[in-house]
Structure 1
Amino acid sequence: MDTAKMVDDLMEIERIPVRRLERDVEKFEIQRRTWQDLGRNLTDLRDASRTLYGIDNPFRNRLGRSSDPAILTVSASRLSQEGSEEITVLQTAGRDRFASPPVDRDFRVQAGVYTFTLGETTRSFRYGGGTLQDFVEQVNRRVPDVVRGTIVPDTSTTRRLILEGQGEGAAAQLSFGDAARDLVEETGLLSPPRPDQSVSALETEPLRLEPGEEHSLRLERPFSIEPGMVLQFEARTEELPREPWEPPPSPPGPELPSPGSVTLEGVTVQDEVFGLDLPRVAPPEPPEHVEDNRAMTITGAGRRTELPALPERDRFETVTVGADRLLPETDGFLFANRNTDRALEIRNIRIMDPDAREGAVPTNAIETARDARILYSGIEITRPTNAIDDLIPGVTINLRRASPEPVRIDIEPDREGAKDAIINFAGFYNQAVRDINIYTRTDRSLIDQIDYFTPEERERMESRLGLFQGETTLNQLRSRMQTIMMDSYGSAEDEMRLLGQIGISSNAAGGGSLDMSRMRGYMEINEATLDRALESNFAAVGRLFGRDTTGDLIMDTGVAVAMERFITPYVRTGGIIAGRSSGLDTRIGQTETRIDRYNERLETTEQRLRREFGRMEGALEQMEEQTRAFDNLPGINSRQSR
């Protein structure tokens, strides 16, 4: 008798309720994961909806385009306005970068205090002497914000020292002091200036021009302007109070003599007064108000060239004019203030080589510190950097190289970004509808018609097919989402009121054939129609997804607004999805507790059965032994045989 098998068979029967509870737990876990996956998909849909109308919505983004990115590039922020401009890059900003003539590879740098100045920043360090390579390493480590050094081995026996200032703009000139000045002269990086390299005027007192005033300035001798030189001067504008204009009185008429009279027999007759018909004199027109800061002209060799307009600020500003806009030779300047209510002041006129550094010039200037110069709206603009972000509001212009040809920049909406956001929104909507269809229906074709499932996704969806059949919450969710996508938004005056007008519908591709996907709530996108809508009426497309109709700066209507508000109660913390998932967690916990209790009872029952069956088996064995012993008693076998 196999009592162990009998106990196992009995325990299998006892474990049937446990198996049923374990299947319940597995089912509850599948349902919980399904609700969680649906919650994530709905969260994606909510976030995609919010993207289309929230503070970061793509309909507020702007893109900057340049007709020639090799000359300049442009980037635009949301503060920029749509439009087009033309900019000519006359000169890019630069930094001082000087190279020495070849020096011996064994050149030694002397000990001393090395001082470097960049604009208004001065840095010094003490060096104990050493090789040129060691000195450059010390420079790069101890004064990296002012200057950077490089060693170039131009031959096997010589080296070139390159020093580069770490700032752009005309104000970021690199100069040398103490032992550094001796080093750059010893290596030939700087050399003495050429004679007659500069000329200056108005260094002590500024020239003031009252309205209408003219003045001329003659140099001591004609000065030749070589390529690379610049004219620099400082100027300012003072606004004068405008006095009210009073027209002069009209001229009086002629004074005529008395006509006389005749008296006869006591009767006096006055002669008729002689009159003149004088023409009516019209009052004179008030003088024209003039604002014109083109006040300087350079002269020389019988020629003259007008210089750029003076700055209109009340503080002195430096104006720099390149040699290409000057004469080959100059003997002076003419000044004329054409303004009616402005005084002009000019001082510190200099024509010079901009590469000069404290009485010396770089022997080989790879690049020099200079401001960027561009022509915008007919006005020359200067900036100390190639990244100009204060010229056009919300637009940053990055200069690459100079060119005589104007570059067109266009600020336009980010149509591609808006299109991508709309496609994402429709995609997340279709994903949510797809999942709800699979969870609430038992039609296997719902899965078979989707060709982008991976084998793992297909297997997972097959296990969830019809899992929530009859679930009213999901059926209502799908129905309301479809209604939101098909509803009309705005008023009759709005150009875009339906998603179908921008190519999003259940039949976006057209055609009369039956497509079951259209019967299941999926949306299609006709990209050609969407592109046309974004190109022709970008703002109206944005208003279709979200707009403020009350003036409180809160979006209150639109497809995306309606979808986000409807989905949020489902996916927020403590919402419908979280409640369903939490409820399943509770049921799983309760069921697992019941399983544990069952298992405890089953363990006790199994032990009891094994004890009882063990005793029974022992009793049977004892009875068998007694039977065998009884059979072996003397005389028992003989009687049994008779």
Structure 2
Amino acid sequence: MADGLNIPGVSDKYKTNDLVESLMEVERIPLKREESNLETYKKQQDAWRGVNQKMSSLRDSVKSLYSFENPFSNRLSSSSEEYAVTADAGREAEFGSFKIEVLQPAASDRFLSEEIDSDMQVAPGKYTYSVGEKKIDFNWKGGKLNDFVTALNRRGNDTIKASLIGVSANKKSLLIESLRTGAENRLVFEKQALDFAKKTGMISSAKSETTTLKYSSLSAKTPETKDEIHQENIPAISKNNVKARGNDITIEPRGGFELDFPSLIRKSSSGKIEFSFTEKKVQDITEENVQLPKESLELPAPLSVTYEGISVFNNPSDSTLPPAQEQQEQKSKPVEISSSQVFFIKDSDGNEKPVDSKYFTKDSNGKTKVSVSLSDFPNAQSLVVRNSNTGKEISMTDPLCFDEKKSLGFEPKNAISTAQDAKLKYEGITISRPTNDIDDIVPNVTLHVHEKTEKPANIKIEPDTESAKDAIITFVGKYNQAVAEMNILSINKPEIVSELDYLSSDEQDKAYERLGMFQGEFTLTNGKSSLQQIVSSNYRFSDDASVTMLSQIGVSTNASGGARGYSPSQMRGYLEVDEKKLDESLKSNLNQIKNLFGYDSDGDLVIDDGIGYKIDRQLTSWVQSGGIISSKTNSLETQIKNSNSKITRLQTQLDRKEAELKRKYANMEGTLNSLESQQSTMQNFSNQNNGRNR
């Protein structure tokens, strides 16, 4: 390229690019200042969001300390025989212990077939299975045993389940089980299901054995009278007041009898007794037994005196006693007796238990059917019928006794378990339930029955002090984190960060970047002061309260009991926990500590005071929508938007300015190049002329 040739922006002979860049650096100062402001706004916004996160976490922590689900109301349950029975205690369960003896757990029918071929084909037909009131009914087109099991399970839901157990390479056993426990939830096979169960050797035919307890004066015994109040004119219970005709038995007022159960029924675990009865009112025998007095108590006639033809008579004696006949009637007339309890089961030790209404069902004819499982009455020996009433007559059918397992016409051949209710003893009372999860024996306690107990289990309900301790320690940790964040943002001292030894190196570096960011921000310093005042205040929730401050339970700025004097960490408001003191306080003053964090001061059943309540209210004003932090971040968001707009505008102006400068300096460079070219031409022309003159 010739020395005199210059292309603007390429050769940059006159350094115009550097000149333009120098001029633009000056022009960019407002832009850089605004970009720095924007970065500051964003960091401040992130800092406020960090404060919001710390305060929200602290708020959640204190809410859990005084809300309905506070840990101070948690209960722990333990069982001395956990293999057999465990318990879950609700928040309203009373502290203490009680004994439970498991006589038998609830079980379901689980029937196993004999060995069958793995490739067995299940015949088509309508297969019906029922468990209690639930029925599984489906049409099977025929096919492999595996497919049949799959089809049955698909329809069984929570009622029945089938599974195949491999016995050998070519043999399997079919297990069909009820998924519902309880004596009333027996597994019943019907239609093709019954034939299939018999074919696979799961069940076999069983002859139903039913025995009628026929009443006769020879076989029946007269039961004890057992009146609560003895009355001379009321006859004792007697079988002479019982009449039998055909299958009906009439028990007149003050009649009764006792019939022993057959030995086969007594020995059976599934023995049952059923009968029906009606009641009707008759003339009360107390009206017939009123005895009129044989003697009457009479007062003597009044005396008189006569003198000289004038007689003076005394007035009759005035007595507050009723007439003699009325006195005797009141003394002799018996009191009517009315009782709804007529039927009892007597055990081999002579103890009687009433057959209560849970065994009764009424039919459309007004008769009441009684159906009693003798397994509910251990060692049942006899049926006692005692009509203690003086004005009621009972008519009943002859009781029928039978083995419930054989009443369907079949019995399992390989029963893994049979349907039965759970039976427990609580406070000496035998209780039966159809399930192993029982929540209606002990208030607010659910018992879980697993096995029969070898000895009575001791169930303890105790306060869950460990969860309360964890919640308090969590609160202290969240409180310190919130205070630390406020200290970092409001104080420009490196030791603020260095003394927080729980921070990682990366967290410390970020904390140093935020150090003193809001120095002079009074909302932060005031907020920290308010929190410190709340946790150090006295809360006397009752006149006899002995725990009214956090420091009394081992939570304070000097809980560790260090040397007295100035401590920067303590002066900054961080709390410490003396775990030993806290454990002792929770053990002895759990309810008072609960009130310390939240209590009702005006009796309206709404918590309105306490450390937790006050911190919650204080922090709500910060973190709620439209609160202090929201206002700060929204204000910064507006500044960020304005700053972005200003940066865009300045950038546009700078681009325009730079383009203009480049254009002007390019023109200038072109002009200079042109002038140089003309100068060079003129110089050459002059040189040529000088050469000719020589």
Pairwise same-fold verdict (TM > 0.5): yes
1:8-47, aligned counterparts within 5 Å?
A: 8-47=21-60
Read off the aligned partner of 2:271 and give its amino acid letter: V
1:216-231, aligned counterparts within 5 Å?
A: 216-217=258-259, 223=264, 225-226=266-267, 228-231=269-272
1:80 corresponds to 2:93: yes
Question: Within 1, Cα distance between the matches of 2:482 and 2:109?
Answer: 61
Question: Within 2, Cα distance between the matches of 1:83 and 1:545?
Answer: 25
1:493 corresponds to 2:544: yes
Read off the aligned partner of 1:122 and give its amino acid letter: K
The correspondence for 2:592, drawn from 517, 530, 540, is 540
Q: Secondary structure at the match of 2:685?
A: coil
1:549 corresponds to 2:601: yes
The correspondence for 1:138, drawn from 122, 129, 151, is 151
On the 8 A contact 2:534/2:615 being kept in 1, the answer is yes
Aligned match of 1:275: none
Read off the aligned partner of 2:461 and give its amino acid letter: I
1:133-282, aligned counterparts within 5 Å?
A: 133-193=146-206, 197=209, 199-201=211-213, 213-217=255-259, 223=264, 225-226=266-267, 228-232=269-273
Q: Secondary structure at the match of 1:628?
A: helix
The correspondence for 1:564, drawn from 616, 622, 630, is 616
Q: Secondary structure at the match of 1:634?
A: helix
On the 8 A contact 2:359/2:372 being kept in 1, the answer is no
Question: Within 2, Cα distance between the matches of 1:243 and 1:576?
Answer: 86
Question: Within 1, Cα distance between the matches of 2:280 and 2:623?
Answer: 64
On the 8 A contact 1:295/1:335 being kept in 2, the answer is yes
Q: CA deviation at 1:409?
A: 2.2
1:117 corresponds to 2:130: yes
- How many residues are aligned here? 621
Q: Assess, with a 3 A threshold, how the Cα gap between structure 1 residues 605 and 155 changes in structure 2: closer, same or farther.
A: closer
1:377 corresponds to 2:430: no
Q: Secondary structure at the match of 1:217?
A: strand
1:415 corresponds to 2:444: no
On the 8 A contact 2:265/2:403 being kept in 1, the answer is no
Question: Within 1, Cα distance between the matches of 2:393 and 2:560?
Answer: 70
Aligned match of 2:558: 507
Identity score, percent: 34
Question: Within 2, Cα distance between the matches of 1:257 and 1:18?
Answer: 134
On the 8 A contact 1:548/1:556 being kept in 2, the answer is yes
1:62-101, aligned counterparts within 5 Å?
A: 62-101=75-114
**What is the TM-score of this pair, normalised by structure 1?**
0.84
The correspondence for 2:498, drawn from 448, 470, 473, is 448
**What is the TM-score of this pair, normalised by structure 2?**
0.78
Aligned match of 2:406: 356
Aligned match of 2:69: 56
Question: Within 1, Cα distance between the matches of 2:454 and 2:400?
Answer: 26
Q: Assess, with a 3 A threshold, how the Cα gap between structure 1 residues 412 and 26 changes in structure 2: closer, same or farther.
A: same
Q: Assess, with a 3 A threshold, how the Cα gap between structure 1 residues 324 and 396 changes in structure 2: closer, same or farther.
A: closer
- Structure 1 window deviating more from structure 2 (181-190 vs 23-32): it is 181-190
The correspondence for 1:322, drawn from 350, 363, 375, is 375
Aligned match of 1:402: 452
Question: Within 2, Cα distance between the matches of 1:539 and 1:141?
Answer: 52
Q: Secondary structure at the match of 1:325?
A: coil
Q: Assess, with a 3 A threshold, how the Cα gap between structure 1 residues 117 and 292 changes in structure 2: closer, same or farther.
A: closer
Question: Within 1, Cα distance between the matches of 2:131 and 2:553?
Answer: 58
Aligned match of 1:481: 531
Q: CA deviation at 1:496?
A: 1.8
On the 8 A contact 1:116/1:174 being kept in 2, the answer is yes
On the 8 A contact 1:199/1:223 being kept in 2, the answer is no
Q: Assess, with a 3 A threshold, how the Cα gap between structure 1 residues 296 and 474 changes in structure 2: closer, same or farther.
A: same
Question: Within 1, Cα distance between the matches of 2:140 and 2:394?
Answer: 50
Q: Assess, with a 3 A threshold, how the Cα gap between structure 1 residues 319 and 503 changes in structure 2: closer, same or farther.
A: farther
On the 8 A contact 1:290/1:340 being kept in 2, the answer is yes
Q: CA deviation at 1:98?
A: 0.7
Mark the runs of 5 or more structure 1 residues left unpaired by the alignment: 267-280
Read off the aligned partner of 1:552 and give its amino acid letter: D
Question: Within 2, Cα distance between the matches of 1:404 and 1:311?
Answer: 30
Q: Assess, with a 3 A threshold, how the Cα gap between structure 1 residues 423 and 519 changes in structure 2: closer, same or farther.
A: same
Aligned match of 1:428: 478
- Structure 1 window deviating more from structure 2 (310-319 vs 367-376): it is 310-319
Q: CA deviation at 1:577?
A: 0.5
1:579-594, aligned counterparts within 5 Å?
A: 579-594=631-646
C-alpha RMSD of the superposition: 4.3
Q: Assess, with a 3 A threshold, how the Cα gap between structure 1 residues 250 and 487 changes in structure 2: closer, same or farther.
A: farther
On the 8 A contact 1:296/1:306 being kept in 2, the answer is no
Q: Secondary structure at the match of 1:511?
A: coil
Q: CA deviation at 1:225?
A: 4.2
Q: CA deviation at 1:198?
A: 5.0
